[in-house]
Structure 1
Amino acid sequence: MSYHFQAGGIRLPEFSRGDRKTQVGSTKHFTGGLVLGENEGVRLGTDSHIETNGSLLLRYHPTTLDLVEQVRFSWYDEHGEYFDHFIDLVATRTDGTVIGYAVRPMKRASHAYQCKLARIKQQAIAQCFLDDFRLFTEEDVCPVALHNAKLFHSLRRPDAFADPVAREACNEVCGTTTVGALVDRTRLEGMGFRAVVRLIGSGHLELVRHERIERSTEVARVRAN
């Protein structure tokens, strides 16, 4: 994604902050990339479809402050020999905790692999490198949360005209309302819907129930804009 600036033209995304480059292409497995963050954003590479889904789910979870891929950690085995392990995803949360994720299909998460992760987890926590280290598989992908994360990602670019109108409509909310009712207040139809979704993504509005975001979705105001 490129980003247009009024005075500086087009600015490309920043390079990945990972310690290892992910593959650009492969004949044997999925490869991809995302641009995350505000304005021009930062590139994040993925080596599997599960990594892509996991990146979206983690990045757009309300407790996530930052997300980096392929973070190097040096660990040692039972013989004292050191190795480099690249942690697939590392999420920094709003409470300051740092959680690492090893992303792998469940069918490839063998007992030996999980024992290796347990050793790495123990050492990473002891060294204050991570607060926790978890295995992320396809079983952790919630279809509803993934749908909403993809929606947040596709609509992340701000709209200087529609967003203030949606914020004003949001500030008038008392109790709960629906996405459609807020859109109707903006009188901006599709632009209004996208702006309301951004307010959900930014945490100004929250879902009353865990469901796909649609016009009928009920929301409550969390904080004033």
Structure 2
Amino acid sequence: MTDLSLGGGIRLPAASRGNRDTQVGSTHHFSGGIVLGDGCGVRYGLESHLEACAALLLSYRQDVAEITEQVLFEWFDEDGVIHKHFIDFIKLSPNGTKVGYAVRPTARVSARYLAELSRIKEQAIGQGYLADFRLFTEADVCPIELFNAKLFHSVRRPDCFGDVVAQDVFNKMKGVVTVGQLVSECGIEGMGFRAVVRLIKSGHLQMLNYERISYETMVFKASLI
């Protein structure tokens, strides 16, 4: 990645890794971009609100190393004619497994579209290009997971002071405690809350229940720092 610096020392995100440029603007549907990943991150182009949700959900799951959007895959129909298909997202797992996602609302999922995806899936898996190819619709958007993904995204930047304080509290904690208790022990209010959330995101803290992260959320130590 090229390190582009401005006068104030700001590092720009890396360019999209996709094989197709997404629309910058549209009068008919949502379009935009998001920066994901550690450090200065990588820019991702988005062409629907559902794609924005999918990008957030996939990127903040523990089993995901990275995602790439708009990846070209060439497939052939029953007559042997080659077609281009841009896979909306490909998820790369830490073990190297790649899973593709076609993002589309259920209202726009026709029998013809499903048949085409099925053919693409068969060829992508057969060629060893993907381990699986899945359809992602609004039914796959869990409100709880999306809330937490948005929270993780909002606190993604490290804090050289708050993180050190939270890690010290983390090292001393025992048993199951609430996020609020840890924040109180940090003694730095909002900075402490954000640092504790980052510990949940990193997997060092694990939630006892599946819920929206709040001060009442109960957590326990899952791994050492």
Shorter chain as denominator, the TM-score bin is: over 0.9
- Runs of 4+ aligned residues of structure 1 deviating over 2 Å after TM superposition are none
The root-mean-square deviation of aligned C-alpha atoms, in Å, is 1.6
Structure 1 gaps, min length 5: none
The residue aligned with 1:193 is 193
**Deviation string for 1:2-42 (max 9, x for gaps)?**
x998x981111110000001111100000011101111110
Structure 2 gaps, min length 5: none
CA distance in structure 2 between the aligned counterparts of 1:106 and 1:170, rounded to whole angstroms: 43
The residue aligned with 1:220 is 220
The residue aligned with 1:31 is 31
CA distance in structure 2 between the aligned counterparts of 1:185 and 1:146, rounded to whole angstroms: 28
CA distance in structure 2 between the aligned counterparts of 1:95 and 1:207, rounded to whole angstroms: 24
CA distance in structure 2 between the aligned counterparts of 1:138 and 1:45, rounded to whole angstroms: 19
**Deviation string for 1:146-182 (max 9, x for gaps)?**
0000000011000000001111111222221110111
Q: How many residues in Structure 1 have an aligned counterpart in Structure 2?
A: 222
CA distance in structure 1 between the aligned counterparts of 2:102 and 2:33, rounded to whole angstroms: 17
The residue aligned with 2:120 is 120
CA distance in structure 2 between the aligned counterparts of 1:211 and 1:222, rounded to whole angstroms: 17
| TM value normalised by structure 1 | 0.95
The residue aligned with 2:70 is 70
**3-state SS of 1:116 partner:** helix
| Counterparts of residues 45-194 of structure 1 (less than 5 Å) | 45-194=45-194
**3-state SS of 2:88 partner:** strand
CA distance in structure 1 between the aligned counterparts of 2:217 and 2:55, rounded to whole angstroms: 25
**Deviation string for 1:175-201 (max 9, x for gaps)?**
211101111111010000000001111
| TM value normalised by structure 2 | 0.95
Identity in percent: 55
CA distance in structure 2 between the aligned counterparts of 1:119 and 1:74, rounded to whole angstroms: 11
